[in-house]
């Protein structure tokens, strides 16, 4: 099999392409709060509870903290207002984030350009708000500090942990990650150059593995699209066994057939994808853009990020 010559990896953080909610299944013992209003115990921080967690009336610096029991790559937080139509709207308007990995003594603030980031949460009593982190963090403990609120510091919280990630490979002229958000100005245009993406940690129970690639204007031939499975690594030199790519079906998806070596079956392996195109070709992430996003359907959103 022909091997693919490696390029030096980009220094940008590894983009996530799959997420899971981390708070929904935590035990009460994993949740700490600055205080509780007497009828609002800390366990109501979960999205499944309508009232939510509320701080005591006299709490001047309300916060809630979650122990994830191990270091996780965190991609963002989701906040809800109190959902009780019989009570005046209560929600957190702005907050900041502190975090620390396991074994670390002190918390760090989530920062950008040397400044503590102030996140904008709810602006009304209905919206579910996702604040996606432009820079992912590795943390076991995540603390949300309430800065401003409407009527009362009341909220529900979810933390999104990365389940699937890619290590981007780009040509030297590019300094952005190979995956980006769906805004056209933040996509990489490759102009007859290749974007290389390494998907680490795939597992297959079979030696013959079928994959499907889909994308706008994706060309299903060896000259424009290459898929390979890492077979050996010596220092910075990495070799790949190339997969066979068939013609696109009516749905425009490329069919890919890969063969694993006996020792790779059932074990974690790395997959390399290379895409070449003209000046209109882009490679972008499809989950969400960094920053504040309003989620209109939480259940559908969760299914999408789990299935990527």
**Residue 3: predicted pLDDT:** 30
Which of 274, 270, 254, 282 lies closest to 195, judged by CA?
274
User: CATH top-level class for 18-163?
Assistant: mainly beta
Average pLDDT over residues 230-254: 75
Residues shown for the chain: 308
pTM above the 0.75 mark? no
Which of 131, 81, 74 lies closest to 108, judged by CA?
74
For residue 157, pLDDT beyond 90: yes
Pairing of strands 291-295, 128-150: antiparallel
Average pLDDT over residues 272-282: 65
Q: pLDDT tens, 278-303? A: 555 555 554 666 789 999 899 888 88
- As annotated, the residues of the chain forming the CATH 2.60.120.260 domain(s) are 18-163
The upper half-sphere exposure of residue 64, i.e. CA atoms within 13 Å in the direction of its Cβ, equals: 32
DSSP 8-state class, residue 214: -
């Amino acid at each position: 099999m022909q091997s693919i010559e490696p390029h030096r990896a980009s220094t940008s953080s590894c983009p996530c392409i799959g997420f899971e909610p981390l708070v929904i299944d935590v035990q009460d013992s994993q949740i700490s709060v600055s205080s509780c209003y007497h009828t609002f115990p800390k366990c109501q921080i979960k999205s499944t509870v309508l009232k939510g967690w509320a701080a005591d009336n006299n709490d001047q610096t309300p916060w809630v903290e979650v122990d994830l029991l191990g270091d996780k790559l965190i991609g963002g937080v989701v906040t809800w207002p109190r959902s009780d139509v019989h009570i005046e709207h209560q929600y957190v308007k702005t907050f900041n984030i502190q975090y620390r990995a396991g074994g670390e003594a002190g918390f760090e603030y989530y920062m950008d350009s040397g400044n503590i980031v102030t996140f904008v949460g709810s602006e009304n009593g209905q919206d579910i708000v996702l604040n996606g982190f432009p820079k992912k963090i590795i943390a076991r403990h995540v603390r949300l500090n309430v800065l401003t609120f409407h009527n009362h510091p009341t909220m529900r919280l979810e933390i999104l942990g990365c389940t699937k990630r890619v290590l981007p490979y780009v040509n030297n002229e590019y300094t952005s990650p190979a995956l980006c958000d769906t805004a056209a100005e933040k996509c990489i245009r490759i102009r007859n150059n290749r974007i290389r993406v390494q998907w680490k940690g795939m597992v297959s129970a079979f030696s013959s593995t079928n994959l499907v690639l889909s994308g706008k204007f994706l060309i299903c031939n060896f000259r424009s699209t290459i898929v390979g499975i890492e077979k050996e690594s010596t220092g910075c030199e990495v070799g790949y066994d190339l997969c066979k790519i068939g013609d696109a079906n009516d749905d425009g998806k490329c069919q890919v057939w890969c063969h694993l070596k006996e020792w790779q079956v059932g074990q974690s392996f790395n997959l390399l994808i290379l895409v070449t195109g003209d000046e209109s070709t882009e490679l972008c992430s499809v989950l969400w853009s960094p920053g504040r996003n309003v989620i209109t359907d939480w259940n559908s959103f969760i299914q999408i990020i789990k299935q990527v």
